[in-house]
Amino acid sequence: MKDFFVFSGQGAQTVGMGRDFSENSAAARAIFQEADAVLGYSLSDICFNGPAEKLTETRYCQVAIYTMSCAALAAFRERFPEIRPIGCAGLSLGEYAAFYAAGAFSFADGLKLLAKRAELMDAACRAESGGMASVLGGDAVVIREVCEQCGIDVANYNNPGQIVISGEKNKLAEAVAALKERGMRKVIVLNVAGAFHSRLMQSAGDALKPVLADAAIQMPEIPVWQNFSAAPATSVAEIRDNLARQVAGSVRWEECVRAMVAAGGERMIEFGPGNVLTGLMRRTISELPTANINSMETLQAFHN
């Protein structure tokens, strides 16, 4: 079966994540140990023991999800070394785990990049009063129109029935009211630290450019569908540019997964905490087989 690997984004974190991998897989344990050594503090302790408030902070959350996702992949590879994906993708910060899985950089180099990204995004969140809302069952054209009128942005195109909007809190409230007036009843304001993937993150995206320019990145061995372009890059310069632009740009997730299926993908395997991406796939291409590797239990239940 032709598999494609996908990796979790922010919001999937949960206290205790990865502990069973670390206890039962030498390869996964080595990932957590390397993360602690690179970061200079015990990220594994935050993942395994919390507290939840700390794990939810952007600067810890992004590196924690990346590390747990890479540990899940390490445990999987230990058990199924013969499974090679035809493509990879990750939701927002998950794109870094996708590039690691595809061989574009080492685990440590990806972790350092993501730690810097999280720090810059955290600073951008503190500088502005931003928020996000999920629009369920709305028309994409109408949603874009309302966002434009209100001076906010579309953050995520997640699946045919879910689009996330993002921007300054007062303008977001205007957009939520306008969308409800246009007949969209299910508009849910999200509990997030800021306006991710919106113009309010532009300063973070710009500051990330020189960091990416100095990073050791090579062309991946496996194509990675990037959030910003919904396509694999053709050069390292394009990878860097897309990663920088992704911070304030829309995440074109639905297009990414459809493109991987069009490229021959027959099964999606999600690595990392939770099962958000599996749920999104069920509402995008419901008949496509999916699997989650988010615990030793799910790993043991997996069969090729």
Largest CA distance in the chain: 55
Q: Of 44, 92, 198, 295, which is the active-site residue?
A: 92
* Residue with token string 């990750």: 90
Q: Are residues 114 and 217 in the same domain?
A: yes
pTM of the model as a whole: 0.97
What is residue 97's predicted lDDT score, i.e. its pLDDT? 98
**Residue 164: beta bridge partners?**
134, 156
| Cis upstream peptide for 51 (omega within 30°) | yes
Q: Are residues 97 and 241 in the same domain?
A: yes
Q: Report yes or no on 292 lying in a domain.
A: yes
Distance CA 46, CA 57 (A): 11
Pull the structure tokens for residue 258. 């459809």
Q: Report yes or no on 114 lying in a domain.
A: yes
Domain count, the chain: 2
Q: Are residues 166 and 279 in the same domain?
A: no
CATH code of the domain in which 44 resides: 3.40.366.10
* pLDDT tens by residue, the chain, 304 residues: 999 999 999 989 999 999 999 999 999 999 999 999 999 999 999 999 999 999 999 999 999 999 999 999 999 999 999 999 999 999 999 999 999 999 999 999 999 999 999 999 999 999 999 999 999 999 999 999 999 999 999 999 999 999 999 999 999 999 999 999 999 989 999 878 899 999 999 999 999 999 999 999 999 999 999 999 999 999 999 999 999 999 999 999 999 999 999 999 999 999 999 999 999 999 999 999 999 999 999 999 998 8
Burial class (CB in 10 A: 0-12, 13-18, 19+), 287: exposed
Beta strand spans in 80-232 (E): 87-90, 130-136, 153-159, 162-168, 187-189
Q: Of 197, 198, 250, 295, which is the active-site residue?
A: 197
Q: Judge whether 197 counts as a catalytic residue.
A: yes
Q: Report yes or no on 194 lying in a domain.
A: no
Distance CA 303, CA 112 (A): 34
Q: Judge whether 92 counts as a catalytic residue.
A: yes
Q: Are residues 104 and 219 in the same domain?
A: yes
Which range of residues forms the domain containing residue 214? Answer: 3-126+199-301
Pull the structure tokens for residue 191. 């509990």
Cα dihedral 210, 214, 218, 222 in deg (nearest 10): -40
Distance CA 216, CA 105 (A): 7
